[in-house]
Amino acid sequence: MTEMVYGTVPVQSGEPVLPKWWRTIDKWTLSCILLLFGIGLLLGLAASPPLAERNGFGAFHYVQRQAFFGGLALIAMLITSMMPPQLVRRLAVIGFLVSFVALLGLPVFGTDFGKGAVRWYSLGFASVQPSEFLKPGFIVVTAWLMAASFQINGPPGKALSFGLLLIIVFILAMQPDFGQAALLLFGWGVMYFIAGAPMILLISLAGAVVAAGSFAYNSSEHFARRIDGFLNPDIDPRTQLGYATNAIREGGFFGVGVGEGQVKWSLPDAHTDFIIAVAAEEYGLILVICIIALYAGIVVRSMLRLIRERDPFVRLAGTGLAAIFGVQAMINLGVAVRLLPAKGMTLPFVSYGGSSLIAGGIAVGMLLAFTRTRPQGEIDDIFRGQKR
């Protein structure tokens, strides 16, 4: 009823789903996502053949798998982006509950694939990382809780969301997966700030994060090793960071040429965590700047549309999803150029990985659904109405 009373966009009853979706979707954001997916396939052609050769597969084995999982991710993105916010919320609640149960079962049924952290379920033909699917569900569920606290006699949604955050962060830290824990903490903090959190509380939370980091450094060898490697002024040229740094330096402005890069023969994670090093070496700074501009475009476009949104739930959920999407890309790029400690985090839609691609498709589909033009109007309509 509210949408009909305050609507500023004409409601076309009986309009088919696809024309309505095309009319209301943010086409600039959609174009940026499709370009990132195309760049991911292009870089996969450059980075994955050496790994396929070492593992005894065909040269384009990983590229074909990336195209398959990427196709599933795009289908999931398109379907999710056509949903109304209420249906997205229901999907997120179900996805969050399933992912949370899967996360709890990792210590018993999970595997670490020799990487020192139990984060995956091995299915034989593929692997699943529950935390990737947990992220969008967590953001939407906590946004729902925060929005509910604005209602008269509503539940203490902010306190409940904070309790849920502490539980999830603790579980992720036990894997250990400090990167995903920090990402969720950041996304929740952004939403809590938008929801009107007192500044003193945010400062206290920042202090608690620093204290938790100090505790993790003193109690976790895995965490301490990565921090020490980051703080060490000398880079071992035989490490992944050493190879990546050298590749970025060698690429220069225009790159060494398509297929001429050497870092893909040395880096075991050249097709995943350090895919940007392959891009920088073969295509140079030009492609890296284009990739950064695409991520920035998605985040900025989404924020500009959400800032006019009236519904608190949509505004909070969309902001949280845009924040973790942009920060995940920033972390991956920052690690490659040694601005941040190693996190083991993929570059959204560009790095190889089934779980990250499909979960990323779902998350971006939710973001597109929240940023669609809808009949409820814009938030500045309220202020114009108050002046009358």
What does pLDDT average to over the chain? 85
pLDDT average, residue stretch 234-251? 77
Q: Which of 324, 329, 268 is nearest to 294 (CA)?
A: 329
Task: Quote the Cα angle for 50-56-58, to 5°.
Answer: 70
pLDDT recorded at residue 4: 39
pLDDT tens, residue by residue, 343-359:
778 899 999 888 899 99
Residue 6 clears pLDDT 80, i.e. is over it: no
CA–CA distance, 117 with 344 (Å, rounded to integer): 11
Amino acid 386: pLDDT: 42
pLDDT for residue 49 is more than 90: no
Among the ranges given (68-72, 123-127, 374-378), the one the predictor scored with the smallest mean pLDDT: 374-378
Q: Is the dihedral of CA 368, 373, 376, 382 positive or negative?
A: positive
Using CA atoms, how far apart are residues 21 and 361, in angstroms rounded to an integer? 17
Q: Which domain holds residue 186?
A: 14-376
The whole-number pLDDT of residue 376 equals 57
Q: Is the pLDDT of residue 238 over 70?
A: no
Mean pLDDT of 307-332: 94
pLDDT digits (tens, 9 = 90+) for 253-282: 888 888 788 888 877 777 888 889 899 999
- For residues 198-222, b (16+ Cβ closer than 10 Å) or e, as one string? eeeeeeebeeebeebeeebeeebee
Decide if pLDDT at 387 tops 70: no
* Rounded Cα distance, 260 and 308, in Å: 47
The pLDDT, as a whole number, for residue 96 is 96
Q: Is the pTM of this model over 0.75?
A: yes
Each residue's pLDDT tens digit, 167-199: 999 999 888 888 899 899 999 999 999 988 777
90, two tokens? 């229901």
Nearest partner of 278 among 298, 301, 255, judged by Cα: 255
Q: What pLDDT, in 10s, does the model give residues 86-139?
A: 999 999 999 999 999 999 999 888 888 767 678 888 887 778 899 999 999 999
Can you tell me whether residue 182 is helix, strand or coil? helix
Provide the token pair at 296.
């920035």
- Residue 116 three-state SS: coil
Confidence band of 31 (pLDDT split at 50, 70, 90): very high
**In this predicted model, which residue has the larger pLDDT, 296 or 341?**
296
Structure tokens belonging to residue 179:
């990167």
Residue 358 lies in a domain: yes
pLDDT of residue 367: 97
Contact 346, 117 (CB under 8 A): no
Distance CA 344, CA 132 (A): 13
- Please name the residue ranges forming H helices in the chain: 2-6, 17-24, 27-47, 49-54, 61-81, 85-104, 106-109, 130-148, 157-174, 178-194, 199-219, 221-231, 240-251, 275-306, 312-336, 354-370, 380-387
Q: What is the pLDDT at residue 1?
A: 39
Give the CA count within 13 Å in the CB-facing half-sphere of 165.
25
Residue 54 covered by a domain:
yes
- 14 falls in which pLDDT band (50, 70, 90)? low
pLDDT tens for residues 205-233? 788 878 877 877 777 776 777 777 677 76
Query: In which residue are the tokens 């699943």 written?
Result: 128
Any domain includes 288: yes
- For residue 7, is it within any domain? no
**Of 88, 83, 58, 113, nearest in space to 272 by CA:** 113
The angle that helices 178-194 and 157-174 make with each other, rounded to 10 degrees, is 170
What does the pLDDT read at residue 11?
46
> Packing angle between helix 312-336 and helix 130-148, nearest 10 degrees?
140
CB-count exposure of residue 149 (10 Å: 0-12, 13-18, 19+): middle
* Domain assignment present for 32: yes
Task: Note the maximum CA span of the chain.
Answer: 73
Question: Which residues have a Cβ under 8 Å from the Cβ of 46 and sit 6 or more positions away?
Answer: 258, 259, 261, 264, 278, 282
Question: With bands split at pLDDT 50, 70 and 90, how would you rate the model's confidence at 3?
Answer: very low
Number of domains in the chain: 1
Q: Is the per-residue pLDDT at 32 higher than 90?
A: yes
Coil, strand or helix: which one is 309? strand
